[in-house]
Structure 1
């Protein structure tokens, strides 16, 4: 199915519009937060890094539990309530005067987002036919990276002209519009998806049991386990790349903030191009092969970044990293949706998000330590080695899993014939 075919589905179209609008508001608010912490509160580098950590860390712990409730609760009220609660929380950024006030609000936003993300994934899987999942996930990634390209410049212009509080107000409005769009359409679960029944006398045990079921499903499904680890490796690399690229541009390339902006934007450009190309390649290439290629591509891009300290090479590497990241994220998300039973998508997708965010946080924290110890360029080369090793190991792992499954199928077939 093409992008146009997928967007003809009423639920998918409105969910996508809501995503675009909400992401635009999020980019404005996060940019404004960094501006306020940096220039108004005169935050230290650690405090500025803390903005990202407090925004991502809560979802690591809340995510797996949130997925259990997403698989139980009705989808539409969950999505709308999440948007409206986040609108109220974003409003609390307007009077923020201390760094800890900002941290608490960002952590609360992260906790609520832990419910919205999996519910959105369940909604897409329930309303988009299997042949359209690749296009649907490509559209969601395009929305994210499109905002990454245009968001910083737009946020900078609005913050400079009208102040950070205007950015916060737009974020509040974006959540309300998102809730209105989602609330205006009927959203249902797939007919085969039955919410887990919990005993009223032992609900905590039932929640724990359902959460463990989701984790066990990932560990015992070779392809899903691989793509979860692949996404984690990709986001770990992005976590290292993000904070160090500014230092690399400043100290190694002796460039300006303008060059840094171009390099950052090129990652988004690469991902936008990648989503188009990957969607077409998916028609004749399996999801796991695309993910393996994406890991190798990220390794090649980051290696070029560290090995060739030249401006043109840096721009090419940034595009390659974005393109390769699309080759991981889009087919990985599609494979998760296709292979996971409808009644477990909330738990599996939330656990996947938690693992991915944890990997990105580890990359964010380790990047500075490793850069101090080995230098920025060596960190890029180490990340390239990790991505290449994951690609090689993933290929061996998937081949072994398929061979074992084929052998098991042969044994079962012989047993049936023996009867």
Structure 2
């Protein structure tokens, strides 16, 4: 495959895969740690921890993009990997719930700076349009493989070790990721057209707000977050307390969602060559609205079946992949090259703002008022996001697309103009 013939991309992809699997083990272990410390209130603890994560992402990601051109990107990525590895190593030592909150805050502050920096590096290494599309898909496949295999690996590991040992795998993953990043030749960021930090941080957000298709993606962020919160926050309590499952059963149910995402990610690259990204993403929105509605109906009817739950979790995974996978392609097609870091960081931040809304609904409302009300609210939010996307993203928006501030309104950068029709 021509894409993997690019040495620096190959190493960066390897770093992403290893770090993702480490993060996947942390996700499973964190849920079980919350259950160990708080029992039936695990949903509240996990919802709070993930809310802290989202606050860090929303606040820090734009600031990271604002200062990214002042630091060597390779050194920054390596340093953030090392910091995250050290923080995760301390998680098994916690004995109080508030310890989780402090460490999660530190861990996610590092991730909030790492992820948009990493995403913005790829277009500078993979310059061919078709290869870049496949790089986005490969990144999604890696994420979905993590979603699928990390819970499976965790389920196997939990048969002969306690969950706190899973954190060691995460820490090792971050360190190996740092070594792979260190072996690459990453170009430093192009100087931004904005000199003030706040102007840099706000530039990407302004571009998202005034570009029709990107406003649609902002609405779809809410749909993804509403559906994903059910899986991420509520699986542990639902499987343990409602279905009466074990720690391994929690991991297997999370793997069901990952399976749905993986199935889509494997076929989507060819689909995106023939079908407009808008069509694919709106289809994903419909799938997620259906999945969240089915989840709310299932719990409201008192039908606590393993098979039904696994099917709904799989459907949610499918819908999330249909929306998330094409997003990077649409972003890149809508802005000039020197604005890519700002826009990727803005999307990263605003997408997690949606999760900041939905995580407390799943965690706090789910614990205090029950899954029926919480999942019904999340289904409504998913529908609101899908409806907003349909209204905000015109079916044909090839003309009059507002790009980065450096480009006159209504004109696409020459290097990206040919891709506008594909992304629309």
TM-score norm. by structure 1 comes to: 0.83
Give the 3 Å change call, closer, same or farther, for CA 96–321 of structure 1 in structure 2. Answer: closer
Indicate the residue corresponding to 2:47 in structure 1: 49
Quick check: 1:219 aligned with 2:209?
Answer: yes
Q: Distance in 1 between matches of 2:121 and 2:204?
A: 18
Quick check: 1:366 aligned with 2:357?
Answer: no
Aligned length: 396
CA displacement at 1:245 relative to structure 2: 4.7
Consecutive unaligned residues of structure 1, counting only runs of 5 or more, are 199-205, 410-419
Q: Distance in 1 between matches of 2:250 and 2:321?
A: 21
Indicate the residue corresponding to 2:183 in structure 1: 184
Indicate the residue corresponding to 1:356 in structure 2: 351
Q: Distance in 1 between matches of 2:91 and 2:240?
A: 31
Give the 3 Å change call, closer, same or farther, for CA 372–189 of structure 1 in structure 2. Answer: closer
Q: Distance in 2 between matches of 1:370 and 1:89?
A: 29
Q: Distance in 2 between matches of 1:41 and 1:391?
A: 35
Indicate the residue corresponding to 2:271 in structure 1: 281
Indicate the residue corresponding to 1:413 in structure 2: none
Among 50, 70, 73, which residue is 2:71 paired with? 73
Indicate the residue corresponding to 1:298 in structure 2: 288
CA displacement at 1:148 relative to structure 2: 2.1
Consecutive unaligned residues of structure 2, counting only runs of 5 or more, are 402-408, 411-424
CA displacement at 1:246 relative to structure 2: 5.3
Among 71, 89, 92, which residue is 1:91 paired with? 89
Contact kept, 8 Å, 1:130 with 1:338, in 2: the verdict is: no
TM-score norm. by structure 2 comes to: 0.82
Secondary structure of the corresponding residue to residue 188 of structure 1? coil
Q: Distance in 2 between matches of 1:298 and 1:405?
A: 30
Q: Distance in 2 between matches of 1:30 and 1:240?
A: 14
Indicate the residue corresponding to 2:3 in structure 1: 6
Quick check: 1:16 aligned with 2:13?
Answer: yes
Q: Distance in 2 between matches of 1:382 and 1:333?
A: 29
**Which has the higher mean CA deviation after the structures are superposed, 164-173 or 39-48?**
39-48
Q: Distance in 2 between matches of 1:373 and 1:35?
A: 20
Secondary structure of the corresponding residue to residue 350 of structure 1? helix
Alpha-carbon displacement from aligned partner over 1:183-229 (angstroms, at most 9, x marks no partner): 11211258xx334574xxxxxxx101211222111111111221132
Q: Distance in 2 between matches of 1:38 and 1:24?
A: 22
Indicate the residue corresponding to 2:146 in structure 1: 147
Indicate the residue corresponding to 1:256 in structure 2: 245
Give the 3 Å change call, closer, same or farther, for CA 264–133 of structure 1 in structure 2. Answer: same
Superposed CA RMSD in Å reads 3.2
Q: Distance in 2 between matches of 1:7 and 1:326?
A: 22
Give the 3 Å change call, closer, same or farther, for CA 74–197 of structure 1 in structure 2. Answer: farther
Greater C-alpha Rg: 1
Contact kept, 8 Å, 1:64 with 1:354, in 2: the verdict is: yes
Summarize the alignment of residues 160-239 of structure 1 with structure 2, pairs less than 5 Å apart.
Answer: 161-163=160-162, 166-189=165-188, 193-196=190-193, 198=195, 206-239=196-229
